[in-house]
Chains A and B, each alone.
Chain A
Amino acid sequence: MAVPALASQEIAEPVEPRAGVLRNVFSSLMSNRKALAGLAVLLLFTVVSIFAPVLAPYDPHSLQFDALLPPSIQHLLGTAANGQDIFSQLVWSTRESLLLAVVAGVFATAVSVVIGVTAAYLGGAWDHVLNLFTDVFLVIPTLPLMIVIAAYAESHGVWVLITVITVTGWSYGARQLRSQALSLRNREFLDAARVRGERSLYIIFFEVLPNMTSLIVAIFLGAALYAVLAAAGLQFIGLGDTNDLSWGTMLYWAQHNGALLAGQPLWVIAPGLCIAALGGAFALVNYAFDEISNPALRPVKKRKR
C-alpha cells in the first residue's frame, strides 16, 4: 500500500524541475550576449531561407547575363562563370545549407542519445562495448571516411550527405551523454521508478532524458556546427549534388572555374562568410550554454586575486 503512494509523489517530482530547467536555460540564454548574437544570426538565415523567392532578385539558375560581371547595383556580387547572378544563388543556397545543418544535426544527436544513454543505463559489458565503439568512431578521421562512403554511393543527393554526416558525427555527443547519464543512474527518482516496476524504455524516455535536456541541446548545437562544416567540405570537393544550390556547391563551382584567378573573389568570399556565420551562430550559442552550465567560465569584470 505504501508503494503506490510513494510512486505518485515520485511521478510528479521529475516533471516539476524539467519545466524549471528549461525556463532557467531560456532566461540565461536571453541574458547572454554571445547567445543572443548567435540566435539573431540563426533567425536571420531562417527568414532568408523562407523568403528566398522574394529576396533573390533573379532566378539563380538563369544564364541570361554576361559571364563574370563585376559587382554593381544590378548584380550585388557580380555574376558567375556562366552568367548566373551570384547574390541570387547565395540567397537560394541558404535553404539547403540550413536544412543540412539542422537535419544532420538532429540525426547525429539522436544517434548520440541512443548509444550514450543506452551504454550508461545498461552498464556492465554493454557499456564497455558501446563505449569502445564510441571511442573508435571518435578517433577514426571523419573526412577520409566520409569521402570513401560518398565516393561509393551511387547518387550524391542531400540524403547521402545527411547519412554520411550522421554516421561520422555522433561519437562526441555520445561520450558526453554517457558520462552525464552515468551520474544520474543512481539518483533516487530512478530507483523509485524501478521500484514502481516501470519498464527500462519508460525510465529512459520519461525519467532520464528530460533531466538531460540542456546537454542534449548543447550536443545538437555542436553536431549542427559539425554538419555545416562537413557538408561544405564534401560539397566543395564535388561530393554533393553539383546541380543543387548550396554554399558548399557554390564554392565548388567557384574553385572549378578558377574564380580567384579570374578576378571574381566575391564568388569565393561570400559563400564562405555565410558558412562561417551559420557555423559561428551554432558555436556561439553552444559556448553560451557552456558558460551557463559552468559558472567558472563566465567572463569576469575585474581581475580577482
Chain B
Amino acid sequence: MSYLLRRLEFFAITLWAALTVNFLLPRLMPGSPAEAMLVRFHGRVSPQTVKAMEIALGVHSDQNIVQQYFEYLGNTFTGNLGVSLTFFPTSVAKVVMLALPWSLGLVGTATIIAFILGTLVGMLAAWRRGGIFDAILPPVLIIISAFPYFWIALFCLLLFSLTLNWFPLGFAYDLTSSINLSWDFIGQVVSHAFLPALTIVITSIGGWILTMRNTMITTLAEDYVKMARAKGLSPLRIMLQYAGRNAILPNLTGFAMSLGFVISGAILVEIVFNYPGLGFMLLQAVNGEDFALMQALFLLITVAVLVAVLIADVLTAWLDPRTREAT
C-alpha cells in the first residue's frame, strides 16, 4: 500500500501548491485589476463577502500575509468564494456548481472513450507490426496532434453543423426548452454534446495510440511473451493478458501527465461550441474581469484533474502487482 500512500501524499502536495499559486498570483502581478472590480461590489453585498473576496484577490491587505493566507484557506474549504460579477448577485460557488456537471459529463466521457479506443488501436498497431494500421497511423496522428483543438472544433462546426446541418450549432440543449428528464431532452443533450465530444476524442486519441504502440513494441520483445508463444497460447490471450496488460501501465501514468493538456484543449472546445461548462465560464469571467470567478474556476479545474490522476493511480496499483509489494 506504500505506493498508494505516496500518491495520496502527492495529491495533497499538488492541491496545496495549486491553492498557494492561486493565493500568490494576484499578489505577485504588478497593478491590481481586481481592485477596480471590487469597488463595484461595495454597498451591494454583505461586508463579510467583500472581505472574503479581498483576501482571495489580495486587495486592501491590512492584515499580515500569513493571517490572510490561513483565512483564504478557510474560506476556500467552506466554499465562501465571494460573489460573481458576471452573474451578479449569484455566489461564485453556485455559478461554478452549475457549470461543473456539463464539463464533467462532456470531458469525462470523451476522455474515457479516447483512452480506451486509443489503447486498443495502439495495441493492435504494435501487434500487427508493419501492417496497414502500423504504417499509416503514426504520421497521420503526429499531424493531427499538431492541430489546435479549437480549430478542429471550428472545422467540425463548419462541416457538420453549418454545411451538413446534422448537429445543432452550440450550447448544451435547445434554448427553447428547460432542464427536465424526458427522453426528448436527453436526446437534445446527446446531439448537442456530440460534436464537442468528437473534437476532444479526435485530438486526444493520437497520444494514447502512439504511447501504447511504442510501449507495446518494447513489451512484445520481452522473454515472457516469447515464452507464452512457445507454450502455444492463443494469440489473443498473449496480446491482451501478457503484452497488453504490461504495456498499459506507462499509458496509465501518461494519462495522469497528459490529462492537464486534454483539459486545456477541452476548455477551448467548450468556448467554440458555447458549451456551458467550466471552460466557457472561464472565458466569460476573463471577458467580464470577474477575478473571483476566474480563480475559483482555476482551482476547481485543477482539483478535477487531480482527482482523475488519483483514480488513474488507484487503477495502476490494481493492475500492477509490483506497486502492492511492501518496500
A positions within 8 Å CB-CB of B: 34, 132, 135-136, 138-145, 147-149, 151-154, 172, 225, 228-229, 232-233, 236-239, 251, 255, 260-261, 265, 268-269, 272, 275-284, 287, 290, 294, 296-297, 299-304
| Residues from chain B with Cβ under 8 Å of A283 in the complex | 142-143, 145-146
The 8 Å CB contact of A143, one of B154, B162, B268, is B268
| Residues from chain A with Cβ under 8 Å of B108 in the complex | none
Would you give the shortest CB distance from B92 to chain A, in whole angstroms?
A: 14
Are the CB atoms of B146 and A276 closer together than 8 Å? Answer: yes
Are the CB atoms of B148 and A229 closer together than 8 Å? Answer: yes
Would you give the shortest CB distance from A203 to chain B, in whole angstroms?
A: 30
Would you give the shortest CB distance from B111 to chain A, in whole angstroms?
A: 13
| Residues from chain B with Cβ under 8 Å of A290 in the complex | 214
14 A-B contacts, Cβ less than 8 Å apart? A138-B257, A139-B309, A140-B14, A140-B302, A141-B264, A145-B21, A151-B286, A233-B150, A233-B268, A236-B148, A261-B162, A272-B155, A278-B146, A290-B214
Are the CB atoms of A148 and B148 closer together than 8 Å? Answer: no
Would you give the shortest CB distance from A284 to chain B, in whole angstroms?
A: 6
Instruction: Please encode chain B, from 133 to 162, with 1 for each CB lying within 8 Å of some chain A CB and 0 for all others.
Output: 011001100110111111100110110001
Would you give the shortest CB distance from A274 to chain B, in whole angstroms?
A: 10
* A276 in contact with B151 given A136-B13, A283-B143, A304-B130 (CB within 8 Å): yes
| Residues from chain B with Cβ under 8 Å of A301 in the complex | 130
Stretch of B116-124, B238-246, B289-297 on the interface side: B289-297
Are the CB atoms of B129 and A139 closer together than 8 Å? Answer: no
* A144 in contact with B29 given A139-B14, A272-B155, A303-B131 (CB within 8 Å): no
* A138 in contact with B138 given A147-B286, A300-B129, A303-B128 (CB within 8 Å): no
| Residues from chain B with Cβ under 8 Å of A255 in the complex | 154, 272
| Residues from chain A with Cβ under 8 Å of B259 in the complex | 139, 141
| Residues from chain B with Cβ under 8 Å of A232 in the complex | 148, 150-151
Which chain A residue has the least Cβ–Cβ distance from B217? A296
B298 within 8 A of A: yes
| Residues from chain B with Cβ under 8 Å of A149 in the complex | 25, 29
Would you give the shortest CB distance from B166 to chain A, in whole angstroms?
A: 15
The 8 Å CB contact of A233, one of B30, B148, B257, B260, is B148
The 8 Å CB contact of B138, one of A225, A237, A287, is A287
* A303 in contact with B146 given A152-B26, A237-B268, A260-B158 (CB within 8 Å): no
State A72–B26 Cα separation when bound (angstroms). 49
| Residues from chain A with Cβ under 8 Å of B175 in the complex | none
| Residues from chain A with Cβ under 8 Å of B287 in the complex | 238
Are the CB atoms of A297 and B214 closer together than 8 Å? Answer: yes
* A251 in contact with B151 given A145-B298, A284-B139 (CB within 8 Å): yes
Report the interface size class on chain B: 35 or more
Are the CB atoms of B306 and A237 closer together than 8 Å? Answer: no
SS of B interface (majority): helix
* A139 in contact with B256 given A144-B297, A151-B294 (CB within 8 Å): yes
State A70–B157 Cα separation when bound (angstroms). 20
User: Max chain A CB contacts within 10 Å: which of B128, B131, B139, B218?
Assistant: B139
| Residues from chain A with Cβ under 8 Å of B265 in the complex | 143
Which chain A residue has the least Cβ–Cβ distance from B10? A135
The 8 Å CB contact of B305, one of A141, A147, A239, is A141
B positions within 8 Å CB-CB of A: 10, 13-14, 17-18, 21, 25-26, 29-31, 33-34, 128-131, 134-135, 138-139, 142-143, 145-151, 154-155, 157-158, 162, 214, 217-218, 221, 256-257, 259-261, 263-265, 267-268, 271-272, 282-283, 286-287, 289, 291, 294-295, 297-298, 301-302, 305-306, 309
Are the CB atoms of B139 and A237 closer together than 8 Å? Answer: no
Are the CB atoms of A142 and B146 closer together than 8 Å? Answer: no
Known: A152-B29, A276-B143. 7 other contacts (CB 8 A): A139-B306, A147-B294, A151-B286, A233-B149, A251-B150, A268-B155, A272-B155
| Residues from chain B with Cβ under 8 Å of A279 in the complex | 145-148
Which chain A residue has the least Cβ–Cβ distance from B295? A148
Would you give the shortest CB distance from B269 to chain A, in whole angstroms?
A: 11
State A275–B154 Cα separation when bound (angstroms). 14
Would you give the shortest CB distance from A39 to chain B, in whole angstroms?
A: 14
Are the CB atoms of B146 and A280 closer together than 8 Å? Answer: yes
Are the CB atoms of A268 and B217 closer together than 8 Å? Answer: no
Are the CB atoms of B260 and A138 closer together than 8 Å? Answer: yes
State A228–B148 Cα separation when bound (angstroms). 9
| Residues from chain B with Cβ under 8 Å of A148 in the complex | 25, 294-295, 298
| Residues from chain B with Cβ under 8 Å of A140 in the complex | 14, 17-18, 21, 260, 302, 305
State A282–B214 Cα separation when bound (angstroms). 19
Closest A-B pairs by Cβ, 5 of them: A143-B264, A279-B146, A272-B151, A280-B146, A141-B260
State A300–B138 Cα separation when bound (angstroms). 13
Which chain B residue has the least Cβ–Cβ distance from A38? B142
State A44–B158 Cα separation when bound (angstroms). 29
State A172–B207 Cα separation when bound (angstroms). 14
The 8 Å CB contact of A276, one of B14, B148, B157, B306, is B148
